[in-house]
Amino acid sequence: MAVGWFYLSVLALCSLGSMCILFTIYWMRYWHGGFAWDGSMLMFNWHPVLMVTGMVVLYSAASLVYRLPQSWVGPRLPWKSGHAAMHLLAFLLTVLGLHAVFEFHNHAKIPHLYSLHSWLGITTVFLFACQWFLGFSVFLLPWASMWLRSLLKPIHVFFGASILSLAIASVVSGINEKLFFSLKNGTKTYSNLPSEAVFANCAGMLVVVFGLLVLYILLASSWKRPEPGMQAEREALLRGRE
């Protein structure tokens, strides 16, 4: 039953994650003119798309690798490698998203890192970089002892969930900031709730629901990779489903 609920949750996550990305792309194309890579506002439009794709959706997918029942059995190295590779791809997309907004600010002569959204975002990316380096150095490379890995594993897990929570907060504050900047003329003020505001608010709520579901799966004890003493029971469960 737990495995069945897990796969239903994964299906829901795939749908929600795709909707988060598609909503963000549509918002930037329909209301803000699309995309370019030339330092203009159209280059800025890559920023929310890349950050939602990298820091929220792909980051979440990488975090959930160890929740797949197939990872309960067999060697762990392929799963560790996939976990690290997906996180690295998420980080690279995040860096591209940061480059897009910094390049736009330079072109438009706008100060950097002055808003709460930017502080949250840069803190999240910094912690993500530290988290990936720690995970690669300690859990993927073979030099670390089991004692050290056991000591650092709870810290790694805690910061993994914390970074996702910060990423969601950064996205929501970024959506809010973008709407305040965009909707400040005449009848299209944010408080009048024009169509763009409704759509972007819905995109933000999708990100929140997606993130909460990911955090629930990460924290649910029945969906975690079993400890060695429980491994035989989980293997029997998997064999029974084949």
- Domain boundaries defined on the chain: 1-241
- DSSP-derived letter for residue 209 is H
Of 64, 148, 52, the closest CA to residue 93 belongs to 52
When mean pLDDT is compared across 8-17, 33-42, 72-81, 169-178, the lowest value belongs to: 72-81
Q: For the segment 75-84, what is each residue's pLDDT rounded down to a tens digit? A: 888 999 999 9
CA distances 177 to 15, 41, 118, 140, 174, Å, are 26, 15, 10, 38, 5
- DSSP-derived letter for residue 143 is T
Beta strands in the chain (DSSP E): none
Amino acid (one-letter) located at 73: V
Q: Can you give the pLDDT at residue 208?
A: 98
The pLDDT-based confidence of 2 (bands split at 50, 70, 90) is low
Amino acid (one-letter) located at 135: G
Whether 223 shows a pLDDT value over 80: the answer reads: no
Provide CATH code, domain 1-241: 1.20.120.1770
Q: Can you give the pLDDT at residue 224?
A: 77
Query: How many CA atoms does the CB half-sphere of 3 hold within 13 Å?
Result: 15
CA distance 98 to 54: 11
The pLDDT-based confidence of 239 (bands split at 50, 70, 90) is low
> What percentage of the chain has pLDDT greater than the value 70?
91
CA distance 180 to 190: 6
CA distance 73 to 231: 8
- Tally Cβ neighbours within 10 Å of residue 209: 14
The pLDDT-based confidence of 70 (bands split at 50, 70, 90) is confident
Q: pTM of the predicted model, to two decimals?
A: 0.90
